[in-house]
A = this chain, B = another copy of it.
Amino acid sequence: MRLSRYFLPVLKETPAEAQIVSHRYMLRAGMIKQASAGIYSWLPLGFKVLKKIENIVHEEQQRAGHIPMLMPTLQSADLWRESGRYDGYGEEMLRMKDRHGRDMLYSPTAEEMFTDVFRSYVKSYKDLPLTLYQIQWKFRDEIRPRFGVMRGREFFMKDGYNFDLTKEDALHAYNRHLVSYLRTYERMGLQAIPMRADSGPIGGDYTHEFLVLADTGESEVFYDSKVTDISLGKRDIDFDDVAQCQAVMDEFTSLYARTDETHVEAEFNEVPEDRRRVARGIEVGQIFYFGTTYSDKMGATVVNDQGDHVPVHMGSHGIGVSRLLGAIIEASHDDKGIIWPEGVTPFHCGIINLRQGDDAADAACESLYSALIAAGLEPLYDDRNERAGGKFATMDLIGLPWRITVGPRGLKNGVVELTSRKTGESVEMPPEQAAAKVVEIYASL
Contacts and interface: CB of A to CB of B under 8 A. Distances in A.
Contacts of A153: 74, 98
A141 B99 contact: yes
A124 to B, nearest CB: 12
Nearest to A152: B72
Nearest to A36: B76
Contact of A113 (B9, B35, B50, B154): B35
Contacts of A44: 67-69, 132
Contacts of A86: none
Interface string A7-38: 10100000000000000000000100101100
Given A36-B75, A75-B36, A70 B42 contact: yes
B98 A141 contact: yes
Interface stretch (A89-97, A259-267, A349-357, A429-437): A89-97
A69 B43 contact: yes
Nearest to A141: B99
Contacts of A139: 74
Contacts of A137: 72-73, 137
Given A47-B70, A72-B41, A98 B104 contact: no
Nearest to A98: B141
Contacts of A68: 44, 47-48
Given A7-B132, A65-B5, A91-B99, A117 B33 contact: yes
B72 A73 contact: no
A71 interface: yes
B130 A39 contact: no
A106 interface: yes
Contact of A9 (B50, B71, B121, B154): B121
Nearest to A131: B7
A46 B153 CA distance: 28
A374 interface: no
A442 interface: no
Interface string A263-298: 000000000000000000000000000000000000
A443 interface: no
B39 A74 contact: yes
Interface in A112-151: 113, 117, 120-122, 130, 132, 137, 139, 141, 143
Q: Ordered nearest first, which 3 A-B pairs have the shortest CB separation?
A: A96-B96, A9-B121, A42-B70
8 contacts: A7-B132, A9-B120, A9-B121, A35-B72, A36-B76, A43-B69, A74-B139, A96-B96
Interface of A: 5-7, 9, 30, 33, 35-36, 39-44, 46-48, 50, 65, 67-76, 91-92, 94-96, 98-99, 102, 104, 106, 113, 117, 120-122, 130, 132, 137, 139, 141, 143, 153-154
